Structure 1
Amino acid sequence: MKTTNQFFTAIVLTLLLFSTTIVAQDDAPKIPEFITVTTNHWNMDKKDFKMSEWKAAEKEYLEKVTMKNEFILGSSMYLHNMTADNSEFLSVQTFATWEDMGKFGDRNAELEKAAWPDEAKRKVFLKNLNSYYANEHSDEIYAPIPGGKFMDERPTKDMVCYVKKSYFAFPEDGTNEEFKKLRMEGNATIVQKNQYVKAYYPNVHAWGSDKTEYIEAFYLDSLADLDKMFDRDDELMEEAFPDNEANRAKGKAWAKYFTGVHGDYVYTYIHDLSK
């Protein structure tokens, strides 16, 4: 592996080819090319904060605007569960193309006017909705890569979303072919076979503060299933890669692509605030 740019160019090209193939098939789920993650923070100074009223306002906006915006492929919201900041709140949106990301904001504005044609009432609604959030927020854009495990049907209850954030090391002796082969082998024998993982989405950095990020999101039914997932991973690892020289070499080869540092985050996925 010679340069960082070569590595990510190859990954993104693989992504684009993969996404085009999937979207072209009528009976297959649409795979987004880009995912935006906005980290908002609750307005801790709001004195009349009521979670039920916030949720009702967000649901109204979802139904009248987000669900009708053809440029937004998907949208979901996540509450802090076990993270370093209890005030954070994630808003995630997916897009079929980069161009759609540039169009959705204007389309939202059009739909807002259609939903609340009275300007005064529209301003009151949006001011109330925005009052739940602090002014500061951050945005990141990620690109999905092959290897996802998709839900069989839309969730009917809130779920646990465990996010693992790892960091690429870019070894000089690495190749895109080796990385992809090792990743997909582990994906097929562990992630796809773990019954506690209801959905799994791997993503790489596309635009934002840290180009070394490798993000994996695991969806589970409960916090109790998080421990069960890890235990089952160990069992599947031993079954697929018994301790021998060849598998130790694979483990060493895989490890060289990462710094060895990772972060763990647990959120609550709000099922009825999603598109």
Structure 2
Amino acid sequence: MRTTNRFITAVIILLLAMPVSSFAQDGTPSDRPMYVTVTTMHWNMDNDDFDMDEWIATEKEFMDKVTRKNEHVMGAGFYTHLYTADNREILFVRTFKSWEDIELATARSNELAKEAWPDEKAADAFFKKQASYYSNYHADEIYATMNGAKIMTAAPTKDMVLYIRKSKFAFPEDGSQEEFNKLRDDFTKNVLHKNEYIKGYYPSVHAWGTDRRDFVEAFVVDSMVELDKVAGRTGELVQAFWPDAAKRAEMNKKLGKYFTGQHGDYIYTNVHQLNK
């Protein structure tokens, strides 16, 4: 896909392979989420009565009565397939202040659910309906957030586009924390934060899941048209900060050693009614 390929070429943010705790403690704002849980679910393709508006209404009811009232959950959202390998995918994403809050959130959600549906029959009917939208399979990942996020200034009032780039780290013997910090800070502050088409940028690293090499960058944009503009603007900002071609080449060489070269690209739609 032309948009994604150009974007990949232009956007290079790298992470030195180090313990997660070192990033979590480096200049962490007191109000920043420390962990992100991502549950990948799949539509129940045998549900012949599926209606998108009813699904949104069902999940919004749960969001209003449980998730938004759960003090251990800092944020939450649903993301549906736009351009991924599986059109059945739905991501349920939540953010937390601490690892302890991840554990406390489950118990608190159970308490809030009992308060919201005290009648057992009504509760059974609601949760049966909610479960009917999904297949039995799901997968869970936990990521640790990093500094350098570009936080959205207001809650979305419309569906937005989420572009995710998942890269794999290399472990260079000649890498250093000092070099990594300088490269990352320069790129984040002078390219990503200045790119007006990027409404939100959220970097994170593997904390629990299938592959400790994972480095995940989430970019929020208004539309696919805006995503196409991100690449060109990123290129302009790169040249503005590194105007000398030789220095740009040197920068790319330094950055490149931190990656295996393997990556995956995923595009989802944020369902704006289902955000906390």
Alignment of 1:163-174 (within 5 A): 163-174=164-175
Secondary structure at the aligned position of 2:27 is classed as: helix
Contact kept? 1:182, 1:254, Cα under 8 Å? yes
Specify the alignment match of 1:142 in structure 2. 143
1:205-220 maps to which residues of 2 (within 5 A)? 205-220=206-221
Q: Spell out, residue by residue over 1:71-101, the C-alpha distance to the aligned partner (whole angstroms, 9 max, x if none).
A: 1111011010011100000000001000011
The offset of 1:244, in angstroms, is 3.6
Measure, in 2, the Cα distance between the counterparts of 1:113 and 1:86: 33
Percent pairwise identity: 49
In 2, Cα distance between the equivalents of 1:217 and 1:238? 23
Alpha carbons 1:16, 1:33 under 8 Å: kept: no
Contact 2:56–2:273, Cα closer than 8 Å, also in 1? no
Q: Tell me the alpha carbon deviations over residues 212-235 of structure 1, each in whole angstroms, 9 at most, x when there is no partner.
A: 111111110111001100111111
Q: How does 1:1-275 map to 2 (within 5 A)?
A: 7-9=17-19, 11-19=20-28, 22-23=29-30, 30-275=31-276
Aligned partners of 1:159, 1:84: CA distance in 2, in Å? 20
Aligned length: 261
Q: Secondary structure at the match of 1:167?
A: strand
Task: Please say if residues 79 and 91 of structure 2, whose CA atoms lie closer than 8 Å, have aligned partners that are also in contact.
Answer: yes
User: Structure 2: which 5+ residue stretches go unaligned?
Assistant: 1-15
Q: Which amino acid aligns with 1:123?
A: D
Q: CA RMSD in A?
A: 1.2
| Contact persistence 1:160–1:222 (CA under 8 A) | yes
Q: Secondary structure at the match of 2:264?
A: strand
Asked if structure 2 preserves the Cα contact closer than 8 Å seen for 1:194 and 1:232, the reply is yes
Flag the structure with more relative contact order, 1 or 2, with Cα contacts below 8 A and sequence separation at least 6: 2
Q: Deviations over 1:190-239 (max 9, x none)?
A: 10110100110011111110111111111101110011001111111111
Give the corresponding residue for 2:11: none
Give, as a single letter, the amino acid of the residue that structure 2 aligns with 1:86.
N
| Alpha-carbon distance between aligned partners in 1 of 2:191 and 2:255, rounded to the nearest angstrom | 15
SS in 2 for 1:190: helix
Contact kept, 8 Å, 1:33 with 1:97, in 2: the verdict is yes
* 1:133-162: CA deviation from partner (whole Å, max 9, x where unpaired): 000000000011011001111111110111
- CA deviations on 1:222-269 (whole Å, 9 max, x unpaired) are 110011001111111111112443332221111100011211111001
Q: Distance in 1 between matches of 2:176 and 2:23?
A: 14
2:209 is matched by which residue type in structure 1? G
Asked if the contact 1:35–1:94 (Cα under 8 Å) also holds between the matched residues in 2, the reply is: yes
SS at 2:206 equivalent: strand
The one-character-per-residue Cα deviations of 1:80-133 (angstroms, maximum 9, x if unpaired) are 001110000000000100001111111111111100100111011001101100
Distance 2:25 2:142 in 1: 15
Distance 1:243 1:84 in 2: 39
Whether the 8 Å CA contact 2:33–2:98 is kept in 1: the answer is yes
What is the TM-score normalised by the length of structure 2?
Answer: 0.92
SS at match of 1:8: coil
Cα distance between partner residues in 1 of 2:24 and 2:45: 40
* TM-score, normalised by the number of residues in structure 1: 0.92
User: Deviation at 1:13?
Assistant: 2.1
Partner of 2:4: none
Give ranges in structure 1 of 5+ residues lacking alignment: 1-5, 24-29
CA distance in 1, matches of 2:259, 2:115: 49
